[in-house]
């Protein structure tokens, strides 16, 4: 039996969780974000149902902009506990098939399995998730890169001329992408179709006359190394050939820090109010690390002004601690190092945690 990587990606996840509670909303344009108020300033879309996406609504878009694009949409508040609970249900189902599950956020995961029929496994996983009243697309690959890319094709199987239902590797809600069909599926596509290559890297590749994945496959590795560095350059060439990581990490590494930030509905210009907000954020994140059994060693404060100028400063605690008043006091002392001569749009507090925090004995600015 061969080893396969399956990438499981839940469809319109937050909206789908809401549909479980509000089945009458199925098929309607639903937008999740903020407190569910489209007039709320500085709040963004975190999920849009497929009907809402048809109007051009996308995650990260301001709620006000989304309301202009889709005035008849139903706006719902972000409900983090419900999404976390639903995600845990899904991950538990995945682990019922294998313990080789690497979770990537609420709505996606990689699953590794040794099988001679990966499509059969994918169908079983889709059926198990359907029992939770949720749906998913599954990409099947010989590594994480091919599996992740295959998921994108799985979402459009039979819906796009680019991935017709009779395309080799296609089944409803599933797509197989491996070394066997890599060139056929990927060679003609632009380099930014690859997972990990964005527009900036694609533009630099274009300057080398590398425009497609096929171009990258036959590119001169030494030239790539000269342009992108001795490690990154050859790695781009490897990506162009559809090679990638096959290791599944079932337990994430311990967090090196924890943070909280908030963008305010109106700019803050009163220093006492700014201090009160920093104290609140510091207390909240300190309580979180205490609950998690972690210890803080350093406190950082981030300030973003109304002009979007963003600066972070940090200070080492006098000793590792979970004492909330000590952490709050340190955060306020860090805040005192900011001039605060412009209205403040965003504030954030981050705690670096023992034993993984970087060493250092003096206050420094983060750049």
Give the 3-state secondary structure of residue 350: strand
Q: Per the residue annotation, which of 18, 102, 108, 352 is the catalytic one?
A: 108
Rounded to whole angstroms, the maximal C-alpha distance in the chain is: 66
- Cβ-contact 41, 266 below 8 angstroms: yes
- Cβ-contact 89, 133 below 8 angstroms: no
Residues β-bridged to residue 301: 313, 349
- With tokens 């590398």, the residue in question is 210
- Neighbouring residues of 136: CB distance < 8 A, sequence distance ≥ 6: 8, 9, 10, 11, 125, 126, 129, 173
Question: What tokens were used for 191?
Answer: 């380099």
**30 phi and psi angles, rounded to 5 deg:** -120, 135
Over the range 24-38, which residues count as b (16 or more CB within 10 Å of their CB) and which as e?
ebeeebbbbbbebeb
From the list 299, 361, 297, the residue with the least C-alpha distance to 333 is 299
Question: What tokens were used for 279?
Answer: 């104290």
How many Å apart are CA 156 and CA 170, to the nearest integer?
10
How many Å apart are CA 216 and CA 210, to the nearest integer?
6
Question: What tokens were used for 354?
Answer: 């023992």
How many Å apart are CA 283 and CA 321, to the nearest integer?
13
* Neighbour tally for 58: CB within 10 Å: 15
* Neighbour tally for 284: CB within 10 Å: 13
Annotation marks residue 273 as catalytic? no
**Catalytically annotated residues:** 108
């Amino acid at each position: 039996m061969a080893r396969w990587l399956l990438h499981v990606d839940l469809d319109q996840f937050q909206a789908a969780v809401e549909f479980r509670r509000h089945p009458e909303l199925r098929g309607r344009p639903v937008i999740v974000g903020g407190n569910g108020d489209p007039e709320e300033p500085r709040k963004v879309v975190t999920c849009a149902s497929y009907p809402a996406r048809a109007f051009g609504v996308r995650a990260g878009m301001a709620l006000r902009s989304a309301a202009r694009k889709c005035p008849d949409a139903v706006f719902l508040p972000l409900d983090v506990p419900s999404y976390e609970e639903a995600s845990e249900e899904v991950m538990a189902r995945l682990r019922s098939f294998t313990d080789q599950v690497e979770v990537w956020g609420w709505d996606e995961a990689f699953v590794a399995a040794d099988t001679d029929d990966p499509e059969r496994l994918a169908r079983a996983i889709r059926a198990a998730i359907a029992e939770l009243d949720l749906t998913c697309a599954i990409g099947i690959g010989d590594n994480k890169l091919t599996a992740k890319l295959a998921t994108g094709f799985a979402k459009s199987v039979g819906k796009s001329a680019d991935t017709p239902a009779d395309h080799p590797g296609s089944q409803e809600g599933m797509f197989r992408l491996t070394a066997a069909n890599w060139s056929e599926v990927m060679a003609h596509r632009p380099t930014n179709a690859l997972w990990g290559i964005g527009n900036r890297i694609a533009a630099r590749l274009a300057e080398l006359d590398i425009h497609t994945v096929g171009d990258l496959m036959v590119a001169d590795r030494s030239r790539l190394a000269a342009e992108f560095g001795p490690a990154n350059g050859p790695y781009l060439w490897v990506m162009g050939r559809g090679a990638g990581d096959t290791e599944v990490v079932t337990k994430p590494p311990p967090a090196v820090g924890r943070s909280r930030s908030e963008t305010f509905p109106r700019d803050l210009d009163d220093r006492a109010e700014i201090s009160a907000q920093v104290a609140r954020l510091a207390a909240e994140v300190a309580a979180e690390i205490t609950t998690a059994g972690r210890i803080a060693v350093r406190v950082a404060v981030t300030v973003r002004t109304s002009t979007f100028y963003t600066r972070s400063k940090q200070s080492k605690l006098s000793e590792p601690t979970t004492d909330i008043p000590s952490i709050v006091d340190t955060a306020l002392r860090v805040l005192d190092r900011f001039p605060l001569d412009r209205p403040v749009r965003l504030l954030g507090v981050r705690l670096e945690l023992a034993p993984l925090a970087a060493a250092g004995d003096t206050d420094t600015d983060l750049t």
